[in-house]
Structure 1
């Protein structure tokens, strides 16, 4: 009777973590490019228009300080997510180097969850600020304040909370394991 070779789970974790480390790197770069793409790549915004609180025509009509202030405000959620993705990247880097149940990767996981929560809460606020900045130059009565909320934000809030709780549980498990090893 032959037995099937069981895959080395830790080797798979290291291999996949190495890949995800680089995927996170690409995602961080994309976060820095998403707002400039909206402004400068024609046709790209149609794929993200459901997330926009103002029309692309209103954005392109802006000039001077309004244009740059609006771009900066629009980048806030992307910058927060880039911060979180950097911590996720560091966690995958630690996993790929076999540091699995160590405090450092667990801390990075928790910081990613926090960044996800903060980014999700910031999106409606920055969307509202974007709509005010983009219509500020209009006469009274044509200015607008638009706040967009979707099911995706609710799901992301729960996901961020779940990640934070999992990080706390993993941290506690690692602490208990370290405590048990000190007794031996």
Structure 2
């Protein structure tokens, strides 16, 4: 790798390392902010299977169970972002084609895939929990799927395949070096 390219990779990786830290914090705070800071999330309600008014009307066990279920995709993504952060940290320290670095990329791809699959399921459970207090006939089960989920599934799969290919390339390179 050219010295200028390596320098740019290190610089950008350091920036992304810290960007991932911010993103992890946001993953932990986003759902509680929906509950405790009403009004800040109005623009993104199209992704929710129940209305904010229904969520804010909940109390007791329903409120906390619903919040916990809604946190599952965020926690999965935080796990993935933690591995992405570790990968960028390794890049920033010149550990680019190392097995551990490639493993972090693969785990991020897996987390992205799992989070995308979990979102519709947790959305369905959220709709059931949020309408559980209603009389029979007014309860609902709502599942939301869109183009974004399909795109994210393919992106997660692409990242996993790229990580496998990089891992194999690094293994072959290491094997070739041992012969010389």
C-alpha distance in 2, partners of 1:45/1:134? 18
C-alpha distance in 1, partners of 2:105/2:119? 21
Q: Which TM-score applies when normalising by structure 1? A: 0.96
In the alignment, which residue of structure 2 is the partner of 1:3? none
In the alignment, which residue of structure 2 is the partner of 1:13? 9
In the alignment, which residue of structure 2 is the partner of 1:86? 82
Change (3 A) 1:104 1:7: closer
Aligned pairs for 1:1-184 (under 5 A) are 8-184=4-180
Tell me by how many angstroms 1:172 deviates: 0.2
Tell me by how many angstroms 1:53 deviates: 0.3
Note the residue ranges of structure 2 that are not aligned, 5 or more in a row: none
Tell me by how many angstroms 1:7 deviates: 7.0
C-alpha distance in 2, partners of 1:47/1:168? 38
Tell me by how many angstroms 1:45 deviates: 2.2
Tell me by how many angstroms 1:163 deviates: 0.1
How many residue pairs were aligned?
179
Moved over 3 A (4+): none
Note the residue ranges of structure 1 that are not aligned, 5 or more in a row: 1-5
Tell me by how many angstroms 1:44 deviates: 1.5
Bigger-Rg structure (1/2): 1
